[in-house]
Amino acid sequence: TAFRSNNTIYSSNPASYSSLDTNSFVFDFGIDYGRCILSDGSSKYTSQDMNFDHLVMGFPLAKGWGVGLGVVPLSSGFYNVSETVVTGDAAIGDYISSHSGSGGFTNLFVGSGIKLNKNFSAGVNMTVLFGQINRSNLFVFNDLNVFDNNTTESLQMRGINFSYGLQYTASLKNDYFLNAGVSLNSNKYYNAKYEQLSLKYTAYNTKDTISYVSNNSEKVYIPGTLRAGISVGKKNKFTTGIDYEVTNWSQAKIPGLSGTVADTRTVRFGMEYIPDKFSNYSFFKRIEYRIGGHTGNNYLIINGDQLKEKGASIGLGLPLRRSLSKINVYLDYTQNSGSSESVLPAENYYSLGISLNLYDFWFIKRKYD
């Protein structure tokens, strides 16, 4: 929240856009690969996926006045879980339980940040949220005399929201600096369409509707997020930072989430070190070395227990030859767990990400051809 850079877009605080160099253009595209391992000590389940992470760009309008825009996924609704359940009940028999989901929500944003004076910068983002998630819960019984059941639901959501940011920058002696920042992603009621259909049917294709719900004027409430942070460092050498983030998810109003979400309080911290940013002889001295971590509450409540979340990450910024452009790579480990394994198995999530950060000079009037 307090970070500022001439070649990186920090969309979580639009005030940072004011740090973009005059006549420059920044483009950043990233993807990540994730592997999730669920374990309760006696059994283990593993899944994996690859996702688009972000596409952002930024450029200046004038000295101390910059623009940022991009596309960032908000959530992914994809899952596929199936299980054969042995009931031991002769009247019902065994059955197959299948649960699947698809779709997701995406944020498209455009914003501007401007330097108010020597020390203060302010900014605002306009974000367009759109997308749809679909869920299916299917129960197929082995006994042909028992009705199978399939419940499907879909949620479409769209709307425009705004986020605001403020940063304070102080230059200290010997190229040291101190930054402080705060940002607010405001709460919002989004227009939505919700549909749910439950059917029962037999192997002979005899169908009957159990229930049907359709609401074209559904209102979904997403709470706001408040972030505050501070960073200190030495120009072109190292930067350290810490953030505190608050979201009151218990106030959210989303179909299907009643009683399953709680407020979150999260601390994030990190450090970047560059041995010699302008070295002419050593590639390794120009690499940006990064390490970070986070701890706090996850917004999910499962079996009455709010998940705890903690994680750590390492990363590298690999500079491209004769350019301010770079390739960023990172490895992150995050664990979600309940108060005990008897309540909920531990979820260990490993993700590997890579992004291409391109920096170029635009809008320059050439004096010589």
Q: Report the pLDDT value the prediction gives residue 230, as an integer from 0 to 100.
A: 98
Q: pLDDT tens digits, residue range 272-308?
A: 999 999 888 899 999 999 999 999 999 988 888 889 9
Can you read off the two tokens belonging to residue 95? 């059955």
Residues 6+ apart with CB under 8 A from 219: 189, 190, 191, 192, 253
Pick from 158, 109, 155: which is nearest to 135 by CA?
155
How would residue 43 be classed by pLDDT, with cut points 50, 70 and 90? confident
Pick from 13, 276, 37: which is nearest to 122 by CA?
13
DSSP H stretches of helix in the chain: none
Q: pLDDT tens digits, residue range 195-214?
A: 999 998 877 777 788 888 88
DSSP 235: T
How would residue 343 be classed by pLDDT, with cut points 50, 70 and 90? low
Q: pLDDT tens digits, residue range 67-125?
A: 999 999 998 888 888 888 887 777 777 889 999 999 999 999 999 999 999 999 999 99
Give the mean pLDDT of 216-245.
95
Asked if 210 and 201 touch (Cβ cutoff 8 Å), the reply is: no
User: What's the whole-model pTM score?
Assistant: 0.88
How would residue 332 be classed by pLDDT, with cut points 50, 70 and 90? very high
Q: Report the pLDDT value the prediction gives residue 366, as an integer from 0 to 100.
A: 61
How far apart, in whole angstroms, are the C-alpha atoms of residue 298 and residue 98? 26
